[in-house]
Structure 1
């Protein structure tokens, strides 16, 4: 589809604002100035590299791990910043601004202007909360111009041409193929709700339309429970629902009934997701797949990327001889070190769990007592002890005979405490990489450890943490005590390190 001239004009003004902020990175040689397309990933990688560099300098990660996770190797982002004496906070802030600008550009060009207007309102709210990355956008003349045009010409009623195309496809399916069971895939929940209302109005006496979204709930958008999801799918099977508007939650892992036609509201850059979505149709007979593209937008490269990757996958599968397998595989038997087995045997552990635990505690206590006595023994023979003793200092051990069994009991009691003493180091936790990612997002983009919840979710989407996947790992981060969900924000309680 071709975009209306008014949307093209607004998009161009927005693009000019992005180019203005892009100069910050080009002038400081932080980004390639000759790229045809700039994606949100370009700026997220800059912040990721910076974070990794700081962690390496503080000794939290090894050099091998640091270089392995670094995207820009030669030169490194941190080296450029130090050489040009660039303010690090400005880099993070401008990255956040550019990610917001590119996201908004996608909304107006590939989704609908109503989603774009909604995003502008969220930016205004963030600016009121004194978030610099949002204030920078809202205070620009470009933003003020776009805002005045939208309000002055009442562009909220302007619909994207994809909407008309979807309506015509549905009519064609009904009239030519007598098909009243269709799935429409879209990336955003807000778009799913918009399409549901639009199509329900258009086909109010002909079709029943329902959306199908994940379980994650937002402040202004409640997710569907598993019970609700099951009921919707059952109604879709029984033809009580004709059109299902689904987000990525319907791509895999859910038993979606077979349909004769699916519609992609926008293309996906992943060949796996493309195949999974397309696999929902044509199981029993030939089906139809429609992919809607807006000309001269990010839809075009996304479509060709997924097709190229899919063709590459097909080529490998059909010509498996070209796959080079490793022929020098060495199979080794599993060997348990004998000393460790002997060590366990010497402890005389018993099968009963409680007895074994008490025995282990006692062994630890005995070892502690030995260490203490050895230390005191060595000290009593030292020159330092002799010098102090010569000055007339009396030691407790000289006056009182040590009651070793009593000392053992006291230390044993201390060992049984669940709470660790301040001097002890807490055992290192093995944290899931997705949980780490969410914690680092708040740490990186938050102001004083606090990040707006909607911005937090948008940034998580860039790391492909969406729907149920996002909800599970965010809950885990909160449960472990790293993050805390507040009314409209996320608070960093504790760093990973």
Structure 2
């Protein structure tokens, strides 16, 4: 390796928008940035090698040449804050122009800040909502970086933002950065299409220009044996599993193609059964659905005992038992928990005190790491929250180990998630050394910059190549790292290991194939990186070492490096000060330039479908969609002089309907609606329910669907309920007759029209048709009005009492029934209060404390 290319004292980037002596120059980063500046690009680079630095180079170049704003999108608040801190540190911009946007900043404040910001780092959901509500526009945004770009699939916010960006921006340019875009050609093509990618650039740790910056990463696989006690418990579960499989097969349904039935096979069967129900299949299919639900529960229990241990299995079975004992339990849950072998399993789990050998191995490995290097940081990844808690508790018993559990925001059964503020606090304390072990679920897999992590331990392998790559990337960033994966022999751990390994190989092959087709051609001379004065460091360093260094060193260069040399030698900063004429940026605008015909072009200009004639290879990799109401609506060419309007409840911005309405050209207004989700006219309002929400509302009184529909029909002359989804009869294993009865009641008793849609796009199309009928044909105006029905006197009294801490609705009713009035409750002393059912000494004392304590507001 030529020493001149990697000097011992690396030079720093010199650019008007980058602070001096803050960013080291690395040739491969400049190489990738140069390619990215040729057009909207996807850059794939292993974790820890500076994807953010590449984004910095591209952002600085775009802002210098085209002005406007730059936007960086990152999936989570911790990542947003991490990136914002970095860019404030290195960019030569006033601090008030480098901003971080998250949901914790009010919409009004974001609108004000957007006007002053030059570089905005944000979560995508915030930007998506602000685009929909017209608080911000993307017209003057000259660049967007999509961090963790592999997320740009389906209905994720990235896809909508990219679409709106290319529709509205005067000079759009995108950079997608990721370490792991996916193993299938279809997935990678979907990402490229969503981000309007023209170029793909890939670097791996094995590339010669990257190798000097790669820290050694030792990867070891440790195999453990499943204890006999656990094997016995697994055998009981497998008996239940095989019994239910036999039932399904006797019904005439096939599951899987071989001996082993995977979770994927079960999901495919479930989907097939749902399809047969929708077209009016045999009632026996409902029985089959119920049996499949049992099989999936048992399958998960087997995974628990094989890969997690007795404690994790115990917690899962306790949840199942609680579910089966509840008043709204499904038949599947009750039948499963009454099974003889399940009762045996419960008995053996309760008396078994053998822990999974992984737990002891984890303690030993972490202990050895911290004893050898007390300043180490360790991350232990687990797939499940229960396992994370179990591992955290086990490690906390060992002297010298200070572990902390790191999970997502969502709350589960008796398990409250971490707020984003708490997540940021935990990571800061982990970096500072207050905690030395982070026991994390998937929430810590992406992007987190924790340079000192010396060891990453997988409590189990993951079958996803993206997640596996992301996890491994948490170590070996600034010095040697170590990755240890625990595998239980003869279990699905081994299947997951091979699955992940094969997918990683396929991903690399796919990426190199795509790079060959979409990689930028550098035969054209360019000024794309001319504003980086520091590029000359390569020439300077070689000239300092050898008189004829340019001639001597060139034969040793890699192919890509020699191309950069050609670029450097041809740069002329003064020739095109505004960056037009012969710059590589023109390639995107003229569509051709001097580029060779690659036979595959995923570029989409505004209004373009993203698929051009002759792109057969791309078309083969992009899934075709069935025609929906959206397609027919767009094909009809309906145009009215006045745009159709619709008022949307502000909570609906979280779903995809508002985005689909925006695509259909609807003029949206967002309000806090007390009644209805969408207001179409002064007489027509719509309540939207997903099938799972609808089914749940029938067995959960708190959801209060019928009260919502009662208000809707009371206030609006034409009330409409849209039920969205295709699993109305299968989402909660509710008796079909109960669902039919509810639908009849809604239509007959409440006078509400019921419409059905397959997905969010079809819901949007139905809403557009309703708006056209009301506003264009019937000339109706939009008028959101009406408030929820006033609470009854009894409900208001119950509300007053239940607002006191620790008083639930039942306790409030008991107090009012016992004392007869709110005033009497307030006057009662502790001894009197304790006489009421569900009111103990602590609750009684709390009531008196609230009533008697002086107000200190």
- TM-score between the two structures when normalised by the length of structure 1: 0.61
Structure 1, gaps ≥5 residues long: 59-77, 350-413, 450-472, 474-486, 488-497
Whether 1:3 aligns to 2:202 is no
- Sort the Cα spacing of 1:425 and 1:51 in 2 relative to 1 into closer, same or farther, 3 A: farther
Query: What's the secondary structure of 2:302's corresponding residue?
Result: helix
1:270 aligned to which of 454, 464, 467: 464
Q: Which has the higher helix share?
A: 1
2:500 aligned to which of 306, 319, 334: 306
What residue in structure 2 maps to residue 403 of structure 1?
A: none
Tell me the distance in 1 between the aligned counterparts of 2:346 and 2:685.
56
Q: 5 Å matches for 1:456-467?
A: none
What residue in structure 2 maps to residue 170 of structure 1?
A: 366
Structure 1 residue 322 displacement after superposition:
6.7
Tell me the distance in 2 between the aligned counterparts of 1:318 and 1:169.
37
What residue in structure 1 maps to residue 172 of structure 2?
A: none
Contact 2:310 2:349 in 1 (8 A): no
Tell me the distance in 1 between the aligned counterparts of 2:469 and 2:340.
43
- Sort the Cα spacing of 1:24 and 1:418 in 2 relative to 1 into closer, same or farther, 3 A: closer
| More deviation, 178-187/303-312 | 178-187
What residue in structure 1 maps to residue 263 of structure 2?
A: 40
Tell me the distance in 1 between the aligned counterparts of 2:639 and 2:307.
67
What residue in structure 2 maps to residue 106 of structure 1?
A: 303
- Sort the Cα spacing of 1:340 and 1:219 in 2 relative to 1 into closer, same or farther, 3 A: closer
- Sort the Cα spacing of 1:142 and 1:423 in 2 relative to 1 into closer, same or farther, 3 A: same
Q: How many residue pairs align between the two structures?
A: 346
Query: Once superposed, what is the RMSD of the aligned Cα atoms?
Result: 3.7
- Sort the Cα spacing of 1:17 and 1:332 in 2 relative to 1 into closer, same or farther, 3 A: closer
Q: Deviations over 1:435-454 (max 9, x none)?
A: x58xx4885234359xxxxx
Structure 1 residue 340 displacement after superposition:
8.0
Q: 5 Å matches for 1:2-401?
A: 2-32=225-255, 35-55=258-278, 57=279, 82=282, 87-129=284-326, 130-151=329-350, 154-155=351-352, 157-176=353-372, 180-203=376-399, 206-252=400-446, 254-318=448-512, 326-327=599-600, 344=641
Structure 1 residue 128 displacement after superposition:
2.4
Tell me the distance in 2 between the aligned counterparts of 1:316 and 1:415.
51
- Sort the Cα spacing of 1:330 and 1:131 in 2 relative to 1 into closer, same or farther, 3 A: closer
Structure 1 residue 122 displacement after superposition:
2.3
Structure 1 residue 22 displacement after superposition:
0.6
Structure 1 residue 20 displacement after superposition:
0.8
| More deviation, 277-286/42-51 | 42-51
Contact 1:173 1:179 in 2 (8 A): no
Structure 1 residue 174 displacement after superposition:
2.5
Tell me the distance in 2 between the aligned counterparts of 1:145 and 1:163.
25
Query: What's the secondary structure of 2:504's corresponding residue?
Result: helix
Structure 1 residue 222 displacement after superposition:
0.9
Structure 1 residue 164 displacement after superposition:
1.1
Q: Deviations over 1:293-342 (max 9, x none)?
A: 1111111111100100101122333455776964488989859x9x9899
Tell me the distance in 2 between the aligned counterparts of 1:427 and 1:134.
31
Tell me the distance in 2 between the aligned counterparts of 1:222 and 1:304.
34
Tell me the distance in 2 between the aligned counterparts of 1:246 and 1:169.
17
Structure 1 residue 167 displacement after superposition:
1.4
Q: Deviations over 1:222-277 (max 9, x none)?
A: 11112211111110111111000011111125555541110111111110011111
Structure 1 residue 148 displacement after superposition:
3.2
Structure 1 residue 114 displacement after superposition:
1.1
Structure 2, gaps ≥5 residues long: 1-223, 519-597, 609-633, 644-679, 687-712, 737-759, 761-807, 809-857
Tell me the distance in 2 between the aligned counterparts of 1:342 and 1:326.
36
- TM-score between the two structures when normalised by the length of structure 2: 0.37
Contact 1:214 1:223 in 2 (8 A): yes
Contact 1:179 1:260 in 2 (8 A): no
Q: Which has the higher strand share?
A: 2
Query: What's the secondary structure of 1:260's corresponding residue?
Result: strand
Query: What's the secondary structure of 2:379's corresponding residue?
Result: strand
Q: Deviations over 1:173-225 (max 9, x none)?
A: 1244555310001111111111111110123xx12110111111234111111
